[in-house]
Amino acid sequence: MITSAHRGIGMTSLRTRERMIERLREQGIRDERVLAAMGAVPRHIFVEEALASRAYEDTALPLGFQQTISQPYVVARMIELLLDQPSGRSLGKTLEIGAGCGYQAAVLAMLTREVYAVERIEPLLARARKNLSSLRLNYVRFKHADGNWGLAEAAPFDSIIVAAAPARVPQTLLEQLAPSGRLVLPLGNSDGAQIITLFERRADGGGFSETRFDAVRFVPLLAGVE
Ligand code: SAH
């Protein structure tokens, strides 16, 4: 729902959002479910007012606390990998690690009713909660915690998405995947190349397949909470 608080840049924002969706198509995003979800979330309410006019550019923007709101293409790409268009898989019960101000959580919430989002910096989590409740996406469940440990109380998950880069895949996250579940994350050191990597748990729950995709730049996945 659009309230007066969101009207800020009004029609301009709607048009620039449509342009963002066109650009995502040109960049190769094909899953219409992802494009519709990203077209429905007003990205400008998630960035600081001074940056609102740049909210629909394909770039990461500062959130404070040395963190950034992820680039639209990367959000779209990672969710598309979870959805696996050919099979028409849906997200199911989904865990996001690194909610930041909640933008990606809102996009996920357009695609599934069951979203859990973990963030280690409390003031950011408070902002995420406020942003999602202003969009009436109250069913997203937030938790202030270190996402390296997943979210045992709600596991297993059909989909897990990590918005910060660890050097190696956290074993706990793999263990919290349901059979046929998918985990997507940027893997690599913050000073070197990071690669979007997809893990899929076998249907019998046994092993995992691992596939690598685009090179990206994310903030590091840190330990502990603030
Ligand atoms: N999902 C956000 C991206 C935020 S940037 C978006 O939609 O734009 C990545 C976030 O990961 C930061 O807010 C950072 O604080 C958080 N983060 C880093 N390490 C973490 C950890 N171990 N557990 C939870 N969150 C973490």
Whether the per-residue pLDDT at 210 is higher than 70: the answer is yes
* Residues 71, 204: Cα–Cα separation, whole Å: 35
* Residues 152, 170: Cα–Cα separation, whole Å: 14
According to the model, what pLDDT value does residue 49 have?
A: 87
Per the model's pLDDT, the better-predicted residue between 15 and 103 turns out to be 103
Ligand 1 atom closest to residue 163's alpha carbon, by position in its atom list: 9
Q: Which of 53, 70, 134, 180 is catalytic?
A: 70
13 catalytic? Reply is no
According to the model, what pLDDT value does residue 6 have?
A: 52
Give the residue whose CA is nearest to atom 4 of ligand 1: 100
- Domains in the chain (CATH in brackets) are 62-216 (3.40.50.150)
Give me the chain's average pLDDT, please: 93
Instruction: Identify the CA nearest to 216 among candidates 33, 23, 77.
Output: 77
pTM of the model: 0.95
Q: b or e along 6-35 (b: 16 or more beta carbons within 10 Å of the residue's beta carbon)?
A: eeebeeebeebbeebbeebeeeebebebbb
pLDDT tens, residue by residue, 54-89: 999 999 999 999 999 999 999 999 999 999 877 889
Give the residue whose CA is nearest to atom 11 of ligand 1: 98
Residues with CB under 6 A from ligand 1: 67-70, 97-100, 103-104, 118-121, 124, 146-148, 163-164, 219, 221-222
